[in-house]
Structure 1
Amino acid sequence: MESNSVSLHRVIKADPEKVFRAFADPVAHSGWLPPYGFVCTVQQMDFKAGGTFKMTFINFSTGNSHSFGGTYLEIKPNEFIKYTDRFDDPDLPGETTTTIQLNKVSCGTELHVVQEGIPAAIPEEICYLGWQESLEKLIKLVEPEIPDA
């Protein structure tokens, strides 16, 4: 069984604590993670090493959905997240591993994302495009500094 991997790098004008919180908070995560044209529901999210999660992406145009879930392998607050996930769909077999590295830099956070073991049925370039869209949404969430009213 062939599998794909993608690697992305961004510098975000927000501190690592704020970027990390966007991964740790289920409401925030469901807002930025799905690529354009999809919405996400989080059925379960126990954000700690050994904790599990379950989410569903819903195609807004068609209403079709696909669910996936996994386990958080390692979490270092504001620095590192590593988790596995697998699709519920038997046509998308295998387990992916995603590693998120956050490094504090002078203007905010350097973010590295590596996802490995993507099912062969998902073209690598489509996965990469999806991640690019997700990261655009992440940036739009964490970069604004909105004062309390």
Structure 2
Amino acid sequence: MTELRRTDTGSRLIKASAETIYRALVDPEAVTSWRPPQGMRAEILAFEPREGGTFRMAFIYEDAGSHGKTSDNADVFEGRFVELVPNRRVVEVIEFESDDPAFAGAMRIVTTLEPVAGDTWVTVSCEDVPPGISEDDHREGIASSLANLAAFTES
């Protein structure tokens, strides 16, 4: 029997244009600023923002007591850009580097940008979430990343 994987979603109205937000989604320096949730920092190890392009990054926990998916203090993941529709949509597929089977498998991340009266409604939908990722923690992480994206693009 195949285990059902879940989808976690978060949305936020960001007071910036879809063009500004899209640039932040595909620029590696911007990604290091907004993508890691609160309590983490990012290191970009590879980043090719084109359809079929690959990326590899690490989220490093700032709290020494945290336990990462890959090592004691880090979540390392790699993926590829499946679809890039400028100012509208980014689709990525990622896999965590982990010996724990609870974090195995590909997770699809779909980010959509919908213009709303000069602002942008941003929705992040994570499909096929590995069971090792707590639903509450993941939703909190998505909300934190969206807050970071808003702070980065609204300034």
Same fold, TM-score > 0.5, yes or no = yes
Greater than 3 Å deviation, 4+ residue runs: none
Find the partner of 2:86 among 77, 81, 84: 77
C-alpha deviation, 1:3, in angstroms:
2.5
Moved more, 2-11 or 49-58: 2-11
Amino acid at match of 1:48: R
C-alpha deviation, 1:24, in angstroms:
0.8
Amino acid at match of 1:21: R
What secondary structure, in the 3-state scheme, does the structure 2 residue paired with 1:122 have? Answer: coil
Amino acid at match of 1:101: T
Aligned pairs (5 A) from 1:48-59: 48-59=50-61
TM-score (norm 2): 0.89
- Where does the alignment leave 5 or more consecutive residues of structure 2 unmatched? 65-71
- Where does the alignment leave 5 or more consecutive residues of structure 1 unmatched? 145-149
Quick check: 2:9–2:142 contact (8 Å CA) kept in 1? no
Aligned position for 1:147 = none
Amino acid at match of 1:27: E
Once residues 8 and 46 of structure 1 are traced to their aligned partners in structure 2, the CA distance between those partners, rounded to angstroms, is 25
Once residues 110 and 22 of structure 2 are traced to their aligned partners in structure 1, the CA distance between those partners, rounded to angstroms, is 13
Amino acid at match of 2:26: A
Residue by residue over 1:71-106, the C-alpha shift from the partner in whole angstroms, topping out at 9 and shown as x without a partner, is 111101111100100001031101100111111110
Aligned position for 1:40 = 42
TM-score (norm 1): 0.92
Moved more, 57-66 or 130-139: 57-66
Find the partner of 2:137 among 91, 106, 126: 126
What secondary structure, in the 3-state scheme, does the structure 1 residue paired with 2:23 have? Answer: helix
C-alpha deviation, 1:61, in angstroms:
1.6
Find the partner of 1:114 among 125, 128, 132: 125
Aligned position for 2:110 = 99
Once residues 121 and 91 of structure 2 are traced to their aligned partners in structure 1, the CA distance between those partners, rounded to angstroms, is 16
C-alpha deviation, 1:132, in angstroms:
0.6
C-alpha deviation, 1:43, in angstroms:
0.5
What secondary structure, in the 3-state scheme, does the structure 1 residue paired with 2:38 have? Answer: coil
Aligned position for 1:143 = 154
State the superposition RMSD in angstroms. 1.2
What secondary structure, in the 3-state scheme, does the structure 2 residue paired with 1:121 have? Answer: coil
What secondary structure, in the 3-state scheme, does the structure 2 residue paired with 1:41 have? Answer: strand
Amino acid at match of 2:81: Y
C-alpha deviation, 1:111, in angstroms:
1.0
Quick check: 2:79–2:94 contact (8 Å CA) kept in 1? yes
